[in-house]
A and B are shown apart, each in its own frame.
Chain A
Amino acid sequence: MEPLLSVENLRTYFYLSRGVVKAVDGVSFNIMRDEVFSLVGETGCGKSVTALSILRLIGPPGKIVSGKVMFEGRNLLELNEADMRKIRGKEIAMIFQNPMTSLNPILTVGFQIGEPLMAHFGEDKKSAISKAIKLIRRVKIPDPDIRARYYPHQFSGGMRQRALIAMMISCRPKLLIADEPTTALDVTIQAQILDLLMELKKDYKTSMLMITHDFGVVAEMSDRVGVMYLGNIVEMGEVEEVFENPLHPYTKGLIACLPLKPERKKKLEHIPGVLPSPINPPRGCKFHPRCKYAMDICREKPPETIDLGGHIVACHMYSR
């Protein structure tokens, strides 16, 4: 089956005065229809930049250097700005990490939710806002017709994220990108937002790209997962498979870090070392300075991606 979205060898670099940061350095993955795909990794691994690159929302000093983003047979990286605009918010929508700052403070919430309908379907303000009220009800904010007239600062963080979700599903996108949608929220709200997203995903038959650093969220929500480290996907596969049989030492470390079994009361695991400078990443395999299995070849040569029956890994331990 043809994937809905196919990212091929994507490279997005940031040209800073200190040097070039290769935030995304040859990333490839597919998202099938009706699938939830997660990108997981530490802060700075390039997962958000990957998401922003798909919608071409990378501003200077960042630049998409090469690669393809195939969406329904078209390469998004080759569209002109007018055609790209018709994709954003309508075909592919994106929810951001920080709901506190992602809404415009001087426009009412109802108007902002209705805006994509005005932009993409030429609706007038009145009908867009009346549809916005329905969407506000759909994301379970109480008193939708009153709340539509509120300004963002009158909303709590959780409500703002609901409002942003309402805004981004207003045009029934085929793909919804959620960039750490719960990171900035209280723990009690996080589960509610994730439940809401899953419910909407089912109702609207939307595919989802979930960006997160939380393996718990991955396990709960997604079908497949890609693990990113310093601009590369180091392991990718079905969630159960990756969880039960992690191949890459980095994935193993991440999963070991999860405080899943509190009864053992042993010390929390962690991955030794820190994320290296993205301007001068280590030679060879970028993970080798933190890897307890590092061999000589790891310091010399970047590993190839190896496909072990749908479970993909980039590590010298598995090369023959």
Chain B
Amino acid sequence: MAGMLKYAVKKIFLGIPAILGVSIILFSIMHMIPGDPIVLIVGERVDPSRIEELREAWGLNKPIYIQYFYWLSHFIQGDFGTSIIHRQPVSDLIFSRLPFTIELTLTSLIIAYIIGIPIGVVAALKRGSWIDYLAMGFAIFFYSMPGFWLGLMLMLLFGLYLKWLPLSGYSGPESLILPALTLALPSIAMIARLIRSEMLEVLTEDYVRTAWAKGLPSRTVIFRHAFKNALIPVIVMFFLQLPWLIGGAVVIETVFAWPGMGRLLYKSIVRQDYPVVQAIILIIAILTVISNILGDIVSAILDPRIRLEEAG
């Protein structure tokens, strides 16, 4: 257990430079984008001398690295600046929407795992049968569909024609179903394909043959010896998928008018609300790094080989 803790702490410390790197790149890109933030805020018809006054007051005449440290130190303290459009603190905007995004992404990931894993396992065990071909056919289909189109089709079918579910917006738990499903479908496909190929590989391992040779019942061989080993990369994938799904949520939230962070990001980009864009992207970057660290830690918990090699 001490080794595990040491391993976790090491991973977390390695994550900090990654986040700093992202913040520097992000800040630089934001500064390279054409357009004067002051003009954006106060409008073009303001007296140029007034603009210079504001530039000095807000510290925008200082060298870029000073501005960066200023921004970073405020960011760390939870002060993400003020939205140009909404005229309220960015942190308020983000944290009122973040729970919606987390609800959406976690729900869709859980759906994806609950549906994807059995499909993949059955396809692997029935390799080459019509079940396998059907499952993998669907998997390729849904994996290739663009999310926004899939979302629109689901809205059309369940919202407009069948009227079973609300079209868009947030009006209660049933509003979650369509966007979560839209986000989950490609993930179901990916997880089903992943666990299928992992199972097929593990089933040919020598230790699975050993398990058969011991005379274990087939369910023991398949679940205890094969499935448990095949599951490790799939569980790690759960954590690696989280940030990817938040990215996907930008499109899906926009299509479904879901009041989450992704839609806020989309609107802020369109309206050039840079403080909001900057803060959201950095938050996504931090979530990505955290998810990766969690993925590493969880795989170390599941696989004794990693645990001992890296900590030892």
Tell me the A residues contacting B by CB distance below 8 Å: 55, 57, 81, 85-90, 93-94, 96, 98, 101-107, 115-116, 119-120, 151, 153-154, 164, 167-168
What residue in chain A is nearest B210 (Cβ atoms)? Answer: A102
Tell whether B215 is near chain A: CB-to-CB under 8 Å: yes
What residue in chain A is nearest B304 (Cβ atoms)? Answer: A151
Among B144-152, B201-209, B263-271, which stretch is in contact with chain A?
A: B201-209
Chain B contact residue count (CB 8 A cutoff): 25
Q: Are B308 and A154 in contact (CB under 8 A)?
A: yes
Distance to closest chain B CB from A305 (angstroms):
30
Q: Are B215 and A104 in contact (CB under 8 A)?
A: no
Q: Are B228 and A119 in contact (CB under 8 A)?
A: no
Known contacts A57-B209, A101-B206: does B305 contact A151 (CB below 8 Å)? yes
| Cβ–Cβ < 8 Å partners of A120 in chain B | 215
Q: Kindly state the separation between the CA atoms of A120 and B225 in the bound complex, as whole angstroms.
A: 17
Q: Are B308 and A104 in contact (CB under 8 A)?
A: no
Tell me the B residues contacting A by CB distance below 8 Å: 205-207, 209-218, 220, 224-225, 228-229, 232, 302-305, 308-309
Distance to closest chain B CB from A46 (angstroms):
18
Distance to closest chain A CB from B123 (angstroms):
16
| Cβ–Cβ < 8 Å partners of A153 in chain B | 304-305, 308-309
Known contacts A119-B220, A153-B308, A154-B308: does B213 contact A103 (CB below 8 Å)? no
Task: Select which of B206, B215, B216, B303 is within 8 A of A102 by beta carbon.
Answer: B206
| Cβ–Cβ < 8 Å partners of A168 in chain B | 213-214
| Cβ–Cβ < 8 Å partners of B210 in chain A | 96, 102-104, 164, 167
Distance to closest chain A CB from B233 (angstroms):
12
| Cβ–Cβ < 8 Å partners of A103 in chain B | 207, 210
Interface of B is mostly: helix
| Cβ–Cβ < 8 Å partners of B302 in chain A | 106
28 contacts between A and B (CB under 8 A): A81-B218, A87-B215, A88-B214, A88-B215, A89-B213, A89-B216, A93-B213, A96-B209, A96-B210, A102-B206, A102-B209, A102-B210, A104-B207, A105-B207, A105-B229, A106-B228, A106-B302, A106-B303, A106-B304, A116-B216, A119-B217, A119-B220, A151-B304, A151-B305, A153-B304, A153-B308, A154-B308, A168-B214
- Give the 8 A-B residue pairs with the shortest CB-CB distance, closest first: A89-B215, A88-B215, A89-B214, A101-B206, A104-B207, A151-B304, A102-B206, A116-B214
What residue in chain A is nearest B209 (Cβ atoms)? Answer: A57
Q: Are B215 and A98 in contact (CB under 8 A)?
A: no
| Cβ–Cβ < 8 Å partners of B205 in chain A | 101
Known contacts A105-B304, A106-B303: does B207 contact A119 (CB below 8 Å)? no
What residue in chain B is nearest A152 (Cβ atoms)? Answer: B207
Q: Are B308 and A85 in contact (CB under 8 A)?
A: no
| Cβ–Cβ < 8 Å partners of B225 in chain A | 104, 107
Q: Are A105 and B303 in contact (CB under 8 A)?
A: yes
Q: Kindly state the separation between the CA atoms of A102 and B207 in the bound complex, as whole angstroms.
A: 4
Q: Are B215 and A119 in contact (CB under 8 A)?
A: yes
Distance to closest chain B CB from A314 (angstroms):
30
| Cβ–Cβ < 8 Å partners of A102 in chain B | 206-207, 209-210
What residue in chain A is nearest B305 (Cβ atoms)? Answer: A153
Q: Which of B209, B215, B218 has the most CB of A within 10 A?
A: B215
Distance to closest chain A CB from B197 (angstroms):
17
